Amino acid sequence: MKIAYVTSEIFPYAKTGGLGDVAGSLPIELSNLGAEVKLFMPGYTTITKKEFDLHSLPELGEINIRIADRDHVIHVFTSTLPNSTVPVYFVDCPYYFGRYEIYTSDPDEDERFILFSKSVIEIIQRLKWSPDIIHCNEWQTGLIPIYLKGNYAWDRLFEKTKTVFTIHNIAYQGKFPKESIAKAEIQHDFLINSGVCEYFGEMNFLKTAILTADAINTVSETYAQELLTTESGAGMEQFLEIRKNDFCGILNGVDYSIWNPEFDHFIPHKYSSRDLSNKMKNKRILLQRFNLPYRKNIPVIGMISRLVEQKGFDLISEGVNDLMKLNARWVILGNGNSKYEKLIKTIVKKYPKKISACFSYNEELAHLIKAGADIFLMPSRYEPCGLNQIYSLKYGTVPVVRKTGGLADTVQDWNESIAKGKETGTGFSFSEYNVLSLVQTLRRTLNMFEKKSIWAKIQLNGMRKDFSWKKSADKYVLLYEKAVSKIKRVN
């Protein structure tokens, strides 16, 4: 099967969160399963030729794309995804991708990804490659299905091509003023007139994708169910309901060649489930890095997160007095919304011996926190999948999570497992999004931390879990096959 995998971020080239990790690892597994995979992403200028061994592809020529009355000349660079044979094609357009951030709030943000989506299709044409599936991710690639049905329907290269669209986070819909529809120059009057691109007077890339892709999925089974409800669907539930037969949840996998304390080249002291004594050494170094005193028996609670509403920082703020009374130290690595940065800074100022934070994007520090912390906290308001808690399990860093979306699908509560007469728990969880539940759950966690043999059991249960890609990649192949077997719709 031939798969074009299209995304706005791929680790190690550019990453803001879990999408980058998924896009840097699922394609490798698909290729191991025998698929021919090609990756496509914007050529942000931060992706330098020297660091990533980029080559230009002059044989593809210059590609001219017109957006909002301006002509752009696109070049293509290529490289091979590390530790694989999967080629990556970068859309080079400094006018749109030579900015400081991967995502911006510039008024032409829509144009950046309209251009990207069109360019991907044009590159595939020039490669004279006929993919069975174009796998699109997030709103940034959301117009590709409608372009194939409209603007590029004439091209027999795409005669059998089907599209799969993955929703990683329903909150990011690609909403723009209605003029954006005109900028996109979609050549499909029927679809445009039936309103597929428009939601409450705005252009909505996500809605367009949901209504025009051949198959749609999201990144965990529980989140797929949640998305069909008005509470969690962010308005898209009605469109997903229409596409219910073509919509499913597939849990993300993780790449254990990167996220495994046995091989992790970022961490000073490697360890495995056979012997966790080195974890303490990492804990000592972690606390030094965060300027907090080391005490073996005082647990460290770690958080690594984009600082956004989704991640539950409101609960930390509301419950700060009770939380800071707990016998624990806190380390936080985060970047994003300045509101949450300020909030955490205020807490750090008030409790400098208990909590410390670093406000940047730091890959190395993220690995050190996973290795050195005792507990990993994710009190998310909602969580489509979440990778951090899955990584933490492998590092013997016990996750404490709110039971929502992918967190519910990957962390098993210790007490609940005991209540069922089984010792299968891998962490601690709570259902209600409120301070009381969070504080009570952390108290429960800290009590268990003191019971050393039980704690070791919980750690080992987690370390033995296997969330590698194989099982989920098999499910993607089934989804692709289902899409391929569909009769081409007229619209």
- Rule CB under 6 A: which residues touch ligand ADP? 17-18, 21, 304-306, 333-335, 361-363, 366, 385-388
Cα–Cα distance for residue pair 336/361, rounded to 1 Å: 9
263-269, Cβ contacts within 8 angstroms, sequence gap of 24 or more: 264/367, 264/371, 266/363, 266/364, 266/367, 266/368, 267/367, 267/368, 267/371, 267/372, 268/368, 269/371
Which residue in 389, 387, 404, 405 sits closest to 462, CA to CA? 389
| Nearest by Cα to 18 from 122, 166, 162 | 166
Q: Please report how close the Cβ of residue 364 comes to ligand ADP at its closest, in angstroms.
A: 8
Q: What is the DSSP string of 278-324?
A: HHHHHHHHHHHHTT----TTS-EEEEEEEESGGG-HHHHHHTHHHHT
| Residue with smaller CB distance to ligand GLC, 92 or 383 | 383
Q: How far is the CB of 72 from ligand GLC (least distance, A)?
A: 29
**Residue 111 vs 138, nearer CB to ligand ADP:** 138
Binding pattern for the stretch 242-281 against ligand GLC, x by CB under 6 A and - elsewhere: ----------x-----------------------------
How many CB atoms within 10 Å of residue 55?
A: 11
Least distance in Å: CB of 9 to ligand GLC?
10
Which residues, 148 to 207, sit near ligand GLC by CB under 6 A?
A: 168-169
Smallest gap from residue 333 Cβ to ligand ADP (A): 5
Is the CB of 74 or the CB of 401 nearer to ligand GLC?
A: 401
What is the smallest separation between the CB atom of 228 and ligand GLC, expressed in angstroms? 17
Tell me phi and psi for residue 364, to 5 degrees: -65, -45
The phi, psi pair for 65, rounded to 5°, reads -125, 130
Q: Does 409 bind ligand GLC (CB under 6 A)?
A: no
Which residue number, 118 or 311, has a Cβ lying nearer to ligand ADP? Answer: 311
39 is a site residue for ligand GLC (CB under 6 A):
no
Stretch that binds ligand GLC, among 176-184, 264-272, 282-290, 377-385 (CB under 6 A): 377-385
Query: How many angstroms separate the CA atoms of 371 and 270, rounded?
Result: 9
DSSP-derived secondary structure for 132-143 = SEEEEESGGGTT
**Which partner from the list ligand ADP, ligand GLC, none does 145 bind, CB cut-off 5 to 8 Å by kind?**
none
What residues contact residue 69 under an 8 Å CB cut-off, 6+ apart? none
Report the residue number whose CB is nearest to ligand GLC: 18
Restricting to residues 215-234, name those near ligand GLC by CB under 6 A: 219
Q: What is the number of residues in the chain? A: 491
Q: Which is nearer to ligand GLC, 219 or 483 (CB)?
A: 219
3-state secondary structure of 333: strand
Query: Min. distance of Cβ 166 from ligand GLC in angstroms?
Result: 8
Which of ligand ADP, ligand GLC, none has residue 115 at its interface (CB below 5 to 8 Å by kind)?
none
Is 234 within 8 Å of 170 (Cβ atoms)?
yes
Nearer to ligand GLC, 174 or 406 (CB): 406
Least Å distance between CB 362 and ligand ADP? Answer: 5
* Torsion sign (Cα): 122, 125, 129, 134: positive
List the interface residues with ligand GLC, window 380-399 (CB under 6 A): 383-387
Residue 363's binding partner out of ligand GLC, ligand ADP, none, with CB under 5 to 8 Å set by partner kind: ligand ADP
Q: Which does 219 bind (CB under 5 to 8 A by kind): ligand ADP, ligand GLC, none?
A: ligand GLC
CB closer to ligand GLC out of 20 and 299 = 20
Both structure tokens of 223: 């989140």
Which residue type sits at 250? Answer: I
379 binds ligand GLC (CB under 6 A): no
- In the bound complex, what is the minimum distance in angstroms from residue 298's beta carbon to ligand GLC? 30
Asked whether 86 and 28 are in contact (CB, 8 A), the reply is yes
Return the number of the residue (67 or 170) whose C-beta is nearest ligand GLC.
170
Cβ nearer to ligand GLC, comparing 290 with 376? 376
Which of ligand GLC, ligand ADP, none has residue 388 at its interface (CB below 5 to 8 Å by kind)? ligand ADP
Could you say which of ligand ADP, ligand GLC, none residue 27 binds, taking C-beta under 5 to 8 angstroms by partner kind? none
Judge contact between 52 and 13, C-beta under 8 A: yes
Measured torsion, CA atoms of residues 406, 407, 413, 417, in degrees rounded to the nearest 10: 10
C-alpha span between 43 and 99 (Å, rounded) = 11
Question: Can you read off the two tokens belonging to residue 382?
Answer: 């909602």
Binding status of residue 108 toward ligand GLC by CB under 6 A: no
Q: How many residues bind ligand GLC (CB under 6 A)?
A: 14
Considering the complex, what minimum distance in angstroms separates the CB of residue 383 from ligand ADP?
7
* Residues found near ligand GLC in the complex (CB under 6 A): 17-19, 22, 168-169, 219, 252, 383-387, 406
